Amino acid sequence: MKFFPLVLSNLMRHKLRTTLTILSIALALFLFASLRTVVTQLEISSQLGAANRMIVQNATAFIFPLPQSYATRLATIPHVTGVTWANWFGGKYGDGRKFFGPLAVDPASYLEIYKNDFLVQSDQKEAFLRERTAVIVGQGLLKAFGWKIGDNVTLQGTIYPGDWTFTIRGTYSLKETAYGDEQFLFHYDYLYERVKDNVSPGWFILRIDDPARSGVVAKSIDDSFRNSPAPTKTGTEQAFSAGFMTMFGNIQLLMGTIGMAVVFAILLIAANAMLMNQRERSSEVAVLKTVGFTDRTIFSLVIVEAAFMALTGAALGLGLAIILPKATHFNAFGFLPGFHVTSGTVMVGAGIALLLSVLSGFTPAYQAARMPVVQALRRVE
Amino acid sequence: MALVEIRDVYKSFRRDTQAVDVYTGLTVDFEEGSFTALMGPSGSGKSTLLNLVAGLDKPTSGIVRVGGAEVSRMNTSQLATWRSRTIGFVFQSYNLLPVLTAQQNVELPLLLTNLNKRDRAERVAIALGVVGLSDRLEHYPRQLSGGQEQRVSIARAIVADPQLILLDEPTGQLDAKSSEEVLTLLQRLNDEFNKTIIVVTHDAKAAERAKTVLHLDKGVLVERQAMQGAHG
Amino acid sequence: MKIPLIYNVRSVLQRPVSTAFTALGIALVVAVFVAMLALANGFASALTKTGGDDNILVMRKGADSELSSAIARADANIIASFPQVAMGADGKPLVSPETYVVINLPRKGVDTTAIANVVIRGVSQRAFEVRKNIKMTGRTFASGQSEVCIGEKLVARYRNTAIGEKLRFAGRDWTVVCQFSAAGSSFESEVWGEAEQFQGAMRGGSTYSTVTFRMKDPAGFEEAKRALQGDQRLQVDAHLESTYYADQSKAVGAMLNFLAIMITSIMSVGAIFGAVNTMYASISSRTPEIAVLLTLGFKPRNVLLSFLAESAVIAFAGGVLGCLIALPINGVVTSTTNWSSFSEIAFAFRVTPTLLLSGVVFAVVMGVVGGFFPARKASRMPVVQALR
């Protein structure tokens, strides 16, 4: 574009103002993208789970266990092709400052049902299955505590009192990062052998042959246990995740409102900068018009200038939002594993930048284009 | 001893890479009660002389003394205080603060004194009375004519009762009639109130009203002309 | 102030749009600041208000929450016999052995996936005496009956919680006979009933979760703690009740504070940049005026202060506006999860006068920081060049 040098020299006239405006746009978009990522990350987490997996819990509340004997009964329900179970262990390591949730699982069936999500090397898997006190640990947790494979680690039980020593026999990697790389999975039998009748499965995980039948399966399970001492509540794994995420409270609304405030605040800053630019330049606009620039060209020059600032700022801000969590391994204190800016967020951010160019540039551009030459020249004197 | 003594003043500006000499050893006196017009072509150093006397600018070397005080040696803060008591300055483009009324504009220098509100109002009224604008106290600059604006700015220059009034092209933007009014006012200030006045102008009519006319050219005093008959 | 403020105020009004934009930008930052801290404030205050300074909460050794604690009936009796336990007016110890479970209750509204975990606390009549500040409406639950008392924050949020209605959980219908408030504390998000009833319906056996008692000597916590933890018959930890609940708010409270500070500090940098731009523009358009002020004998310091004041005044207006924007949020009830019990706690946003004051101070600081360099530039302006 042949007018580019002109736009550039206008931008360079108040270097400080241009820089500060670009930086405020960058900060705002950084903030916007980060806040939106919290929301999208929660959405990802709340849709977590395979369509062919279902969770069976105690209907009264998830803190109540279910009898071990349900495992065999669940396996006989039509469409159910696999059953495993897990139990919340509740232990802390060291000073207990870092939170993680160790799970007692039925090792073989658990790894079988999650074989496409938690990827474990076959030699590590065998070592884990062989040994009753073995544990499989996520890479993130391994790093956080500085453990290595082969280490013995001792947790203090909070629900099941006492010291519990495990041997790390393997790690897993993830296909979907939102599952989190801070799991701690050990043998249910190890727990059972020490506390006997005080433990029974916290929840069952089922695999079904046809995701479309999940409603039917849930109903037949809940119906068959309705009059037993421990009625069940069955749902898809996704519904389970979604329910868990609702426990955070209305974060969407909170983040959305702040995001709006942020966007509106930069709009004000950017529009103000453009208005100031234009006000100071009325004489030059008049000169350009005397030279023969059309109103339309003048209008576009101003819009292009605004767009340059908005888009540069957006590129900086969105870039930072993408890079920073990767560089710092940010995961919101473990609540949002796999924190990353989605392409949707980048698109919305870019859209905001474009909107910003138009909104902040329009009034000054319109004023400049409509300015009568004679009046503007008089102001020069 | 003269009120204003300028002794062997050198002054050079740096314009890009080139040094421009304004004065190379200028010496000139202004007596107390004098009314001097400084004339000369553009770039002859008229305005710079005014700036040096007011302490707005410093000489490269040499001495500028006003009332025995060495202006060229004072620091910014001392200068500010000294200026508020000793100098009244009038600009070609009036330079009233557009957001303040005539009264508030004139009152500004008094805010630097210890006078209370009532005394200040009294002094402002007197100053505006002297310039003949007692009926324009509440007007804003944009509601006044050019001549009136310049008279307000003269009132601002005299309100703190300084010995020395400096004017830079005071009639440069005024029509003939307004110029007359302003010049008559200056003569009155000189005659009745015994103010020492230095006015930079290129208007021969204005120069006629002065007692002395100094012609500057390229920073050198080329002619001193005593005006006769102008003062009755 | 040598240079009259009216000069600044009128100058500011010469550029209404620019000034309004700057002030509004600051207002938005302040509004977010106040609202987010009101959230953190409300959450912390709900939990710090829970529990008394002179109550001791006894849990099983190693248990990190009431949920994972268990205390046998016999042990509860031993604890009640400790000499550190205060006596009630009737000469009996002020002790409340309690069962603590978390259950699912149907919420009002339509979102069926939303998990609503509510604390069900089995207590004795003593609990209402051991805990101060509890105000009850209706009659207390009768012994041996399936009757419950509902915390007032639950009433608007859950179905079947009005007095006289029947609330169904754990396979039984429970008649709601009273509602209670507890000075905004997290007890208001709980359902209380007779411990023995809840043991029967949910936990099986006759084990309690915790034992809470009033101390005879309000300052005797350390001594009582030593006595309880040193007793060979018991395997327990003793906590000061108020400290225990306050500690539960720490993680979430710290996260909310962190969020508030991070978001508002990033926003405030943007707003300061905006203020810097505005002040620079304002100063450059008033160059001759500044030169006049300096010529008249005003000191650079006066000019600096004058422009700082101008920026501070714009920011102050923004700060006040921001507080006004955020004010209506005061008292709005929201909820989050107490992660140590996985139960929902409802709390109200708390906009305190201190918070409003700090919002305004924050705004003025932004104004002063944003105004400083432009103001300094104005005060250092070389008069001769400015006049040219």
Instruction: Tell me what pLDDT residue A11 has.
Output: 84
Q: Could you tell me the two tokens for C47?
A: 């939990």
- Three-state SS at A98: coil
**Nearest CB neighbour to B56, from listed C6, C14, C384:** C384
Q: Give the residue-averaged pLDDT of A85-95.
A: 87
Distance CA C350, CA C149 (A): 26
Give the confidence band of A381 by pLDDT, cuts at 50, 70, 90: very low
Q: Model ipTM?
A: 0.80
Residues from chain C that touch A266, judged by Cβ atoms under 8 A, are 270
Q: Residues 99..118 of A with a Cβ closer than 8 Å to C: which?
A: 99
The per-residue pLDDT for range A202-237, each reduced to its tens digit, is: 999 999 998 888 889 999 999 999 888 888 889 888
Question: By the CB < 8 Å criterion, does C169 face chain A?
Answer: yes
Q: Could you tell me the two tokens for C360?
A: 């305004």
In angstroms, what separates the C-alpha of B197 from chain C's closest C-alpha?
A: 17
Q: Give the residue-averaged pLDDT of A253-268.
A: 86
Question: By the CB < 8 Å criterion, does C17 face chain A?
Answer: yes
Asked if C352 and C41 count as a contact pair (C-beta separation under 8 A), the reply is: yes
**Nearest CB neighbour to C270, from listed A63, A243, A266:** A266
Give the confidence band of B120 by pLDDT, cuts at 50, 70, 90: very high
Average pLDDT of chain B is 89
Instruction: Tell me what pLDDT residue A335 has.
Output: 66
Instruction: Tell me what pLDDT residue A380 has.
Output: 42
Instruction: Tell me what pLDDT residue C204 has.
Output: 61
What kind and span of H or E run contains C212? strand C210-214
Contact C299 B51 (CB under 8 A): no
Angle between helices B117-130 and B146-158 (to 10 degrees): 130
State the Rg of chain C over Cα: 29
Q: Give the residue-averaged pLDDT of A144-173.
A: 90
Q: Could you tell me the two tokens for A173?
A: 């990697």
Asked if A62 and A202 count as a contact pair (C-beta separation under 8 A), the reply is: yes
- Three-state SS at C236: strand
The mean pLDDT values, 10 residues at a time, for chain C of 388 residues are 83 87 92 92 85 89 83 91 89 91 80 75 89 88 91 88 89 91 89 88 77 90 91 90 86 84 90 90 87 88 91 94 94 82 85 95 95 91 75
Instruction: Tell me what pLDDT residue C115 has.
Output: 67
Instruction: Tell me what pLDDT residue A50 has.
Output: 79
Question: By the CB < 8 Å criterion, does B111 face chain C?
Answer: yes
Q: Model pTM greater than 0.90? A: no
CA-nearest residue to C274 within chain A is A269
**What ranges make up the beta strands (E) of chain B?**
4-15, 18-30, 35-39, 61-66, 69-70, 87-90, 164-168, 196-200, 212-217, 220-226
Using CB atoms within 10 A of its CB, is residue B132 exposed (0-12), middle (13-18) or buried (19+)?
A: middle
**Nearest CB neighbour to C295, from listed B56, B76, B82:** B56
In DSSP notation, A217-248 reads HHHHHHHHHTTSSS-EEEEEHHHHHHHHHGGG
The per-residue pLDDT for range A28-46, each reduced to its tens digit, is: 999 999 989 888 888 888 7
Interface test with A, best of C263, C287, C339, C369 (most A CBs within 10 A): C263
Give the confidence band of B19 by pLDDT, cuts at 50, 70, 90: confident
Residues from chain A that touch C17, judged by Cβ atoms under 8 A, are 272, 275
Residue with more model confidence, A341 or B14: A341
State the Rg of chain B over Cα: 17
Contact C301 B83 (CB under 8 A): no
Contact A269 C342 (CB under 8 A): no
DSSP bridge pairs for A236: A54
Instruction: Tell me what pLDDT residue A367 has.
Output: 84
CA-nearest residue to A239 within chain C is C113
Closest listed residue to residue A239, CA positions, set A100, A111, A57: A57
Instruction: Tell me what pLDDT residue A332 has.
Output: 66
Residues from chain A that touch C115, judged by Cβ atoms under 8 A, are 62, 243-244, 246-247
Closest listed residue to residue C27, CA positions, set C363, C369, C381: C363
**Cα dist. C55→A109, A219, C50, C120, C185 in Å?**
47, 47, 11, 20, 15
Average pLDDT of chain A is 86
- Three-state SS at A125: helix
Q: Give the residue-averaged pLDDT of B185-196.
A: 93
Question: By the CB < 8 Å criterion, does A273 face chain C?
Answer: yes
Residue tagged 């052995």 (tokens): C97
Whether A54 shows a pLDDT value over 80: the answer reads yes
10 Å Cβ neighbour count for B24? Answer: 14
Closest listed residue to residue B23, CA positions, set B2, B6, B35: B6
Whether B172 shows a pLDDT value over 80: the answer reads yes
Instruction: Tell me what pLDDT residue A287 has.
Output: 75
Chains B, A in contact: 3+ Cβ pairs under 8 A? no
Q: Residues 200..229 of C with a Cβ closer than 8 Å to A: which?
A: 202
The per-residue pLDDT for range B72-85, each reduced to its tens digit, is: 888 888 888 888 88
Instruction: Tell me what pLDDT residue B180 has.
Output: 92
Neighbours of chain C (3+ CB pairs under 8 A): A, B
Q: Where are the alpha helices (DSSP H) in B20-116?
A: 46-53, 76-86, 102-107
Residues from chain C that touch A280, judged by Cβ atoms under 8 A, are 281, 284-285
Instruction: Tell me what pLDDT residue A242 has.
Output: 79
Closest listed residue to residue C2, CA positions, set C385, C379, C329: C379
**Nearest CB neighbour to A27, from listed C235, C270, C280:** C270
In angstroms, what separates the C-alpha of A200 from chain C's closest C-alpha?
A: 14
Give the confidence band of B232 by pLDDT, cuts at 50, 70, 90: very low
In angstroms, what separates the C-alpha of C60 from chain A's closest C-alpha?
A: 9
CA quadruple C312, C316, C322, C328: dihedral, nearest 10: 160
Contact A269 C276 (CB under 8 A): no
**Nearest CB neighbour to C102, from listed A24, A61, A90:** A61
Q: For A118-124, which contacts have Cβ atoms below 8 Å and span 24 or more sequence positions?
A: A118/A172, A118/A174, A118/A179, A118/A183, A119/A172, A119/A173, A119/A174, A119/A175, A120/A170, A120/A171, A120/A172, A121/A170, A124/A149, A124/A169, A124/A170, A124/A171
Residues from chain B that touch C379, judged by Cβ atoms under 8 A, are none
What kind and span of H or E run contains C117? strand C117-123
Question: By the CB < 8 Å criterion, does C287 face chain A?
Answer: no
Distance CA C248, CA C348 (A): 17
Q: Where are the alpha helices (DSSP H) in C179-249?
A: 195-198, 221-230, 241-248
In angstroms, what separates the C-alpha of A48 from chain C's closest C-alpha?
A: 14
- Give the largest CA-CA distance in chain A: 95
Q: Residues 41..80 of C with a Cβ closer than 8 Å to A: which?
A: 60-65, 67-68
Whether A379 shows a pLDDT value over 70: the answer reads no
CA-nearest residue to B57 within chain C is C384
